[in-house]
Structure 1
Amino acid sequence: MTKPVRIGVQLQPQHADYPQIRDAVRRAEDIGVDVIFNWDHFFPLYGDPDGKHFECWTMLGAWAEQTSRVQIGALVTCNSYRNPDLLADMARTVDHISGGRLILGIGAGWFERDYDEFGYEFGTAGSRIAALGEALPRIKARWAASNPLPTRDIPILIGGGGERKTLRIVAEHADVWHSFGDVETLRRKSAILDQHGADVGRDASQIERSVAVSAPPAEVADALVDAGVTLFTVSASGPDYDLSLVEQWVAWRDSRA
């Protein structure tokens, strides 16, 4: 069965006061997006590196109460920042607050300043990916042991493109794979993901393909759909949170109905 085309927006929690973020969430839900993401960092990724910034998961709890229809999540949570059992319980709680609308987006982590200033061991790319692979079974086991249980099987989105290790973890655990790169890279890595799925006994074609988009749909949508993408996410930063490109993607989605 073909997955429905969905539109997300990543509201980057940087360079804004929280009322501006809250207003952007309201506007995004009113526009008709399917998913609203933030990100899991402690400092801005661009612009003034010491500019205003807010924490991911406390914000998701607020969004769970503020919104009524959209799915919410991080694009993506850094596995290194929280004990996997704690993260599982945080996710389960936000899932209940939202009435079953949380996506657990997660990745291995990469932004060294976060690690250095908050006292986490940065390690190597390999050690961080290995830690992600070890964390996901713990997260699922904690959900299974929780009281109350999550409202449903919380979908797991994994971001990353490492062909040998990360895509293997995606094949084992993810419901959604968030890819980086151009269409040709997406096609090649998607085929590698399918092979990893076969190796672990899972039909990887059932894993939704997700990408970030920064161009209007008229320029890129057809090629991405042809490559198998069904979740398209536009990013917006503070303080203004311009959602005009998001509106174009929502209109494109609706025109396909």
Structure 2
Amino acid sequence: MTSRPIRIGLQLQPQHADYAAIRRAVTEAEDLGVDIIFNWDHFYPLYGDPDGQHFECWTMLGAWAEQTTRVEIGALVSCNSYRNPELLADMARTVDHMSDGRLILGIGSGWFEKDYQQYGYEFGTAGGRLDQLAEDLPRIESRLERLNPAPTRHIPVLIGGGGEKKTLRMVARHANIWHSFSDLETFNRKQEILAAHCADAGRDPAEIERSVGTPDGDPADVGPKLVEAGASLFTVGVGGPDYDLTKLRRWLDWRESL
């Protein structure tokens, strides 16, 4: 059971929509009381028409920093392969200031091969991309410490994924938030592995917030089981062209009922 407050996130997937629709959905979600608004870091839609409308992640986060006043913002997640780590740190610091300290730095090793092929990045192997992320995270941290002006706060790092040998070791060493893509049974097992990596790193696993996507079903039925397992951040994913926030409202209502 988590002792953290329950938070609700929204992943506004920047695909198949005009930007005006994205802007409206951001405003509506903040007005509804969501805690975090995420986008994602891809160059093409992940489902639907593979060549449909799509917008870039970090320029959008800069716009959200100015558009919003209360919610935290970030990518779920930013792809480490697409930007030099020092540059990514500087971008994160800049959006942190633009938002008055509301950025979450979500990061992962990347996986969507079309992005790599079309934009000229070397795809390599899954293991190689994870190794590169492990090398780059300390570079990001080091650059954040040297930037002038410094970030307004310690920018929370969110790492997504459940790889037991590499990803969860990085979570233990670097993350403030771990986002799991797994079902409840797997989530519980992965937490045991994460705890072992935290012990190796000399870190209390309770320092790391547990984040999950929202499963299908009534939040009153599925939410408590995940809370009992330790989850405290629940994120609803919504794609364009029309951003239907019905499911988000159900999860917000459940949070308010607690």
TM-score using structure 1 length? 0.98
> Are the equivalent residues in 1 in contact too, given 2:215–2:222 (CA < 8 A)?
no
Paired AA for residue 231 in structure 1: L
Could you say which residue in structure 2 is the equivalent of 1:231?
233
Cα offset, 1:214, TM superposition:
3.7
Distance, in Å, in 2 between the alignment partners of 1:176 and 1:41 is 21
Distance, in Å, in 2 between the alignment partners of 1:92 and 1:13 is 22
Structure-to-structure mapping, 1:10-159, within 5 angstroms: 10-159=11-160
Distance, in Å, in 2 between the alignment partners of 1:22 and 1:54 is 12
Could you say which residue in structure 2 is the equivalent of 1:204?
205
Cα offset, 1:218, TM superposition:
2.3
C-alpha deviations, 1:154-200, integer Å up to 9, x for none?
00000011001110000000000000111000000011001100011
Cα offset, 1:126, TM superposition:
0.6
User: What stretches of structure 1 move > 6 A for 4+ residues in a row?
Assistant: none
Distance, in Å, in 2 between the alignment partners of 1:63 and 1:219 is 33
Could you say which residue in structure 1 is the equivalent of 2:189?
188
Stretches of structure 2 lacking an aligned partner (at least 5 in a row): none
Distance, in Å, in 2 between the alignment partners of 1:251 and 1:189 is 29
Structure-to-structure mapping, 1:167-178, within 5 angstroms: 167-178=168-179
C-alpha deviations, 1:203-253, integer Å up to 9, x for none?
112100001114230231011011100000001111110001101111111
Q: Which one of the candidate residues 220, 223, 227 is aligned to 1:221?
A: 223
Paired AA for residue 143 in structure 2: R
Distance, in Å, in 2 between the alignment partners of 1:129 and 1:160 is 11
Could you say which residue in structure 1 is the equivalent of 2:251?
249
Paired AA for residue 245 in structure 1: K
Counterpart of 2:115 in 1: which secondary structure? Answer: helix
Distance, in Å, in 1 between the alignment partners of 2:206 and 2:188 is 12
Cα offset, 1:254, TM superposition:
1.2
Could you say which residue in structure 1 is the equivalent of 2:242?
240
Distance, in Å, in 1 between the alignment partners of 2:70 and 2:255 is 17
Give aligned pairs, total.
256
Counterpart of 2:236 in 1: which secondary structure? Answer: strand
C-alpha deviations, 1:96-127, integer Å up to 9, x for none?
00000000000010000000000000011111
Stretches of structure 1 lacking an aligned partner (at least 5 in a row): none
Identity %: 68
> Are the equivalent residues in 2 in contact too, given 1:214–1:235 (CA < 8 A)?
no
Distance, in Å, in 1 between the alignment partners of 2:125 and 2:161 is 15
Distance, in Å, in 2 between the alignment partners of 1:193 and 1:220 is 23
Paired AA for residue 117 in structure 1: Q
Distance, in Å, in 2 between the alignment partners of 1:170 and 1:127 is 17
TM-score using structure 2 length? 0.98
> Are the equivalent residues in 1 in contact too, given 2:161–2:180 (CA < 8 A)?
yes
> Are the equivalent residues in 2 in contact too, given 1:158–1:176 (CA < 8 A)?
yes
Distance, in Å, in 2 between the alignment partners of 1:61 and 1:24 is 16
RMSD (Å) for aligned C-alpha atoms: 0.8
